[in-house]
Structure 1
Amino acid sequence: MALSIHIALLIVACFACATGLRCWKCGNARSPGQCIEFGRTQICKKSQKVCQTELRFSSGWGSKPTIRTGCKEEHACGNNFGQNPRKAWLPSQCNKGVANSVCRCCCKTNNCNENELLCEKMFENNSGPPRPPLCVGVPKAPLNGRVICRKSRYEGSSCRYMCNRGHVLVGNAHALCRGFGDFAMWTGALPYCRRLPICDPIAAPERGTVKCFGGNKVGTLCKFTCDRNHKIEGPSAVSCIATPSGPRWTEAAPMCTLTACEDFGEIKHGNVNCSTDNNIIGTTCSFDCGNTELFLTPAGTDSSRCIWKEGEAVWTRQKPCCSGIVCPPTAKKDIVIALDSSGSISSEEWVLMKKFVIRVLGQFIISPTNIQISMFRFNREIDTDSQIVFGDHDSLEGLTKAIENMPKNGGGTYIGQALRYARNYMFRQNNRPGVGDMLWILTDGRSNDEFKASAKQLRDDGVDIIVLGISKKNDPRFMQQLLDLTGDEKLIMEVKDVVNSFEEDLVQLAMTKICEIYCMG
């Protein structure tokens, strides 16, 4: 047991040796308070065995000293200390009446110089430099606040005022210990803590979250989000604003309600049967035509499911209708397709656009008695070299090859010119009398020319105009352009980009637009 204690004492002793002496260090402080406030503990080197304090009076004893403290080698500090009383014809060391007089003192225990900032023990009969006056106590803390002081209370020391959370300091941020001859006192009017104007706490909606930026003070913005399969009913964000009656939120917090798909309504000459009454996520609706002589159009759309996709509830398939033919593949229509090949369409996007058209047309029978296709591309010019007119191809195979070979070059989006070309030329080449006409436009940009009058002429001629708009910039003016083309928002298909949007559901949507003409009224 005694051996264990002995070893432990040796370890402690070795640790103390390893850590070295600790001295208080400050540089060029103008008062003891400043030395304490801005100084720090310094771990001395192995060769530094003592702590030193140095006082320098630039204008004799009546001036305030500059104080420097820190670690020192024992022999060096001893030599300095020995010079204090050294006699000379005009001594400059520790001389009360000489400018730039310097006094130094040494001590050997941890932080011993922290309490010897004026080397008072070195002098007898108060012959040393006068001790600066000391402020009594600490300044009073403001209501709803606090005061933080260093341990020094000498002249030149300072204390800092701070306010509690939700309050702001008005007035002096610091109190200064100021000397007046033989005494000192804290100066500066007591500040106060003013309560920040805040709104009442706002709670997160059930099955949702709220995140506020700035607490609840005026100017704070709070944003709400809902859990998966839920949507916000109300504002997605509110702000704390100042009003004559006090701070308040701009709106009440929203609710998070279970997301549901739009109601299908009825199918003329058919039936809709859904697994729930409110069309929530997971609901499946089945369709049928009660009359056995009618068929669901587009074919194969006998059911649809409500799913969560890209932050909203959507049906996997559009609502079908009941018609006298099976569409697709059966349909009888003369369709002109106009492809925008302006500079904003990349080469990769151009290939994908053509493949998409081929996939849609592949759902139908291409023949002189079913669907006929005419197709051209446009930008600043109309490409007549690669165009396809009615009757050029009586099968999907030949039509596919012709579409694949269409080049991509040129710039500019001139929809008005394309509409006039379709009306004055394409619809007059082998157009079948008594067969419905359709113009399908694929474009990604706003037109550089006027087109509204030409679009209206085509619609007045009985041409159904459907548009696939690629709205890369989410421009509301572009969406208005699509509506001006079709005259009916139901004839608009919109995607955000080509690469990620030309999927099977868009093919189904395009088929629906083509087959809708056969729906029974």
Structure 2
Amino acid sequence: MLAALILLSVGIIEIQAGGTPICPTITTPDWGEVSCSNENNVGSRCNLSCQAYFDLVGTTGDAIETSCGFDGMWSTATEFECVPIKCFPEQVSPENGEVICSANNFAQSVCVFFCKEHFDMVGLSAANNAHAICKDDGDGDEIGQWVSSDGSTDFQHPFPPQCQPIRCPTTMEAPLNGQVICSNRDYSGSYCVLFCRDGFKFANRKEKIVFSSCSKEDGHDSVGEWSMPDAPSCRQCTRAEEVQLVALIHESEGDRGQYQVATSMIAKVLTILRRRHGINPTLRVNRYSSSVDASNEVFTTAFTLKSSKREIDAIPYPGKGANTTTALRYMDQRLTGDRSAKIAFIFTNELRDFDAEMEMKARNLVEREVSLFVFTLPQKNRARTWIREQLVKITRDDTRVYALPRMRFTNKYKDEVAAKINDITMTKGCDFLI
């Protein structure tokens, strides 16, 4: 269809070929919509509006209505602008929490709030997957309104929500005659270690250490629970029902000085055990070389300094050679009973035969809860034939290896060895406390 432009005093009018004027074409802005009954012809009625979730600038209405007159002019201005509806303020992560929004603070954006582990949410219907939606409040401007997850705009709880630490109702208390150490007091995630003082043990438990942690399974009251609410009681231990001591001695041929150092150490330790600690072990003493003659063993259930030591001093020399593995095997046969404290003394002036079999036999004894002590005896005009690291592999405990190069060293170590045996008997007694 042909058209012409006519310049009038009011402006430029576009005329169709038939002589009927037409109105200027309406430009559709971003996010805008133009709907006309007959395009831009005379008599056409047009609605100028914005897409959903956008606001029409300059009016509180939803649309601008205009019509094309016979003068080729629209009845109203046709330039319009659409802006996105936004909610304020923009949502930010709460302290100790996080917020994730689908479209920042634009209309229909959904903001979901989370709290970090060990924190609980307060406010914004925390029990209903706390979130807020930016919606058009319908008042005709570009500012929307946050609506909570339960559909309310009247927030009765803090908004945005707050994340507060989950805490157990009370701090974990130490057991009587025990101690407790907690990583973070009564807060969720706190890990508490409970144990008894020396000489005490948890009643009705095999464990020497128990644990309790503060956590929360469900709900939104910020109150956690201890995995073990009440600390178990600690009962005082009693000494092991029986204490057994086996001592084997190896010394050089004709060197009675070595043997006297060994027997003196045994006598002094047993005397201290009886007088100071009230312990009277059953005692087996023998000498060993490449073998152990069981018929030479001195056995007593009531050691006395005079008579018992005299019997020990009278054990005959077994001959040359040294087989410590055989000595360990002999000890294994003599130390019996599950409820007794088992102590083994090895006195040696050499260790030429250390090998994997010896180490394995010693390990088996330790696994049977035998407490091994090794004492090295003085050597006259001879190079040392033992290595401390090897001796430790026998005892499995660096503190139970003692060098006795002179008689006076028996006085130096007697109290220490007796104290260790006392501790062993108490530990063994604790093991069987129910």
TM class by shorter chain equals 0.3 to 0.5
For CA contacts below 8 A with separation 6 or more, give which structure has more relative contact order: 2
TM-score by length of 1: 0.33
TM-score (norm 2): 0.38
